[in-house]
């Protein structure tokens, strides 16, 4: 990395992406653009990525984006998932960084954004994940395991006094159960993507259940925005693969998906 690029703060690519697109609708997309720009575009990005159920991920990126919102460079909101929009102050700062970036870095980064911005989020995950598909029998075994875990979680959360969070958890888990029951995909990459997304979401809810322990009444006080964003990825995959429609509409009653 040359002297000019060293003058760039760590968060510069976050601001660059949001400036170029004006609006990025979830932290998943934001992280994947940076990952692809780093790996394919060889951009001098300092963030370190680890692989998880959504593909390469770096939690620091979302945290830094929210911090940029606090500082007035981004407008940050939550609409089913995290939404990042550029502000006037952010646009001015992004232009300053663009004057520092070497032309080849800008060109490579712009190519990544142009190439992948039109892809559905589930396909963006496939392009950046580079995972090897499992044998068909393994999917059925994994599906049975996930459905068993969902049944246990549904039992535990259904015993808690009803509130917005328990309704969301029960509804989202039962939605995942229905998707697994109805899924009969022949495309192995689609099947892999869908099941891994659901498995990751269920494991995240299981961890929440473990952390709560016997204090189930705490469920209502927890911010579930990150869970809602992960569940949105499941819905997008389900809708994209024509299994179940997504439940994006405001005010939709998730209780209709809860099994008695």
Q: What is the pLDDT along the chain (260 residues), one digit of tens a residue?
A: 444 445 789 999 999 999 999 999 888 888 888 888 888 778 888 888 877 666 677 888 988 999 999 999 999 998 778 899 999 999 999 999 888 888 888 888 888 888 877 666 656 666 555 544 556 667 888 889 899 999 999 999 988 888 889 999 999 999 999 999 999 888 887 888 888 889 889 999 998 998 888 888 888 889 899 899 899 989 988 998 999 988 865 555 555 555 54
Reference 226, options 14, 31, 75; nearest CA is: 31
Whether residues 229 and 250 share a domain: the answer is: yes
Using DSSP's 3-state secondary structure scheme, residue 233 falls into helix
Whether residues 12 and 116 share a domain: the answer is: yes
8 Å CB contact between 134 and 150: no
Whether residues 182 and 246 share a domain: the answer is: yes
Reference 227, options 81, 101, 126; nearest CA is: 81
Final residue belonging to a domain, choices 129, 150, 170: 129
Whether residues 27 and 89 share a domain: the answer is: yes
Angle between helices 103-116 and 12-21 (to 10 degrees): 50
Reference 238, options 168, 170, 183, 196; nearest CA is: 183
Whether residues 46 and 162 share a domain: the answer is: no
Q: Report the pLDDT value the prediction gives residue 111, as an integer from 0 to 100.
A: 87
Q: What is the pLDDT of residues 94-135, one digit of tens each?
A: 999 888 888 888 888 888 888 877 666 656 666 555 544 556
Whether residues 209 and 155 share a domain: the answer is: yes
Whether residues 36 and 106 share a domain: the answer is: yes
Reference 62, options 74, 51, 52; nearest CA is: 74
Whether residues 124 and 10 share a domain: the answer is: yes
CA distance 168 to 216: 15
- Laid out side by side, the sheet with 82-86 consists of 23-24, 82-86, 74-78
Whether residues 146 and 105 share a domain: the answer is: no
Q: Report the pLDDT value the prediction gives residue 44, as an integer from 0 to 100.
A: 86
Final residue belonging to a domain, choices 129, 151, 168: 129
What does the block give as tokens for 140?
Answer: 């059925």
Whether residues 18 and 57 share a domain: the answer is: yes
How far does Cα 79 stand from its chain's mean position?
Answer: 13
Consecutive H or E run containing 181: helix 164-182
Final residue belonging to a domain, choices 88, 114, 129: 129
Q: Report the pLDDT value the prediction gives residue 38, as an integer from 0 to 100.
A: 86
Number of domains making up the chain:
2
Q: What residues have CB less than 8 Å from 137, skipping those under 6 apart?
A: none
Phi and psi at residue 24, to the nearest 5°? -120, 125
Range of the domain at 51: 3-129
Whether residues 166 and 228 share a domain: the answer is: yes
CA distance 228 to 158: 19
Q: Report the pLDDT value the prediction gives residue 4, as an integer from 0 to 100.
A: 41
Whether residues 110 and 213 share a domain: the answer is: no
Q: What is the CATH number of the domain that holds 89?
A: 1.10.10
Q: Report the pLDDT value the prediction gives residue 260, as an integer from 0 to 100.
A: 44
């Amino acid at each position: 990395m040359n002297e000019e690029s060293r003058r760039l703060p760590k968060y510069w690519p976050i601001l660059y992406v949001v400036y170029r697109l004006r609006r990025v609708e979830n932290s998943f997309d934001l992280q994947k653009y940076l990952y692809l720009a780093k790996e394919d575009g060889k951009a001098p990005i300092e963030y370190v990525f680890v692989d998880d159920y959504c593909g390469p991920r770096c939690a620091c990126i979302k945290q830094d984006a929210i911090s940029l919102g606090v500082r007035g460079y981004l407008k940050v909101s939550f609409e089913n998932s995290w939404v990042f929009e550029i502000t006037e102050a952010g646009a001015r700062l992004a232009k300053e960084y663009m004057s520092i970036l070497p032309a080849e870095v800008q060109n490579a980064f712009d190519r990544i954004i142009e190439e992948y911005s039109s892809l559905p989020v589930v396909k963006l995950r496939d392009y950046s994940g580079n995972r090897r598909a499992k044998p068909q029998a393994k999917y059925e075994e994994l599906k049975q395991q996930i459905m068993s875990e969902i049944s246990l979680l549904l039992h535990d959360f259904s015993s808690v006094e009803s509130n917005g969070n328990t309704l969301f958890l029960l509804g989202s888990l039962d939605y995942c159960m229905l998707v697994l029951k109805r899924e009969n995909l022949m495309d192995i990459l689609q099947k892999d993507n869908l099941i891994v997304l659901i498995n990751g979401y269920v494991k995240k809810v299981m961890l929440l259940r473990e952390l709560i322990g016997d204090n189930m009444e705490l469920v209502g006080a927890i911010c579930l925005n990150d869970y809602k964003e992960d569940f949105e990825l499941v819905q997008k995959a389900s809708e994209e693969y024509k299994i179940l429609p997504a439940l994006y509409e405001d005010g939709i009653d998730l209780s209709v998906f809860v099994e008695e």
